[in-house]
């Protein structure tokens, strides 16, 4: 791992109180992060995909 490595962060969606962003980690894994006011949920790719399936069921 390179010293001082900064993950590549991409904002996927954002409102006044909420944000969803992804980060490419040093080990090659992508994490997904849901910021819901003062709570942040971190998910790996498998968890993110399952979360998206759950949200689609709400539609």
pLDDT, block means (10 residues), the chain with 59 residues: 79 96 93 96 97 95
Helix (H) or strand (E) holding 31: strand 30-36
Residue closest to 24 by CA, chosen among 40, 7, 41: 7
Put simply, whether the predicted model's pTM sits higher than 0.75 gets the answer yes
At residue 2, the pLDDT reads 57
CA distance 1 to 20: 26
At residue 5, the pLDDT reads 81
């Amino acid at each position: 791992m390179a010293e001082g490595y900064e993950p590549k962060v991409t904002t996927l969606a954002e409102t006044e109180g909420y944000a969803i962003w992804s980060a490419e980690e040093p080990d090659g894994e992508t994490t997904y992060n849901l910021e819901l006011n003062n709570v942040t949920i971190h998910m790996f790719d498998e968890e993110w995909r399952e979360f998206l399936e759950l949200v689609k069921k709400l539609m």
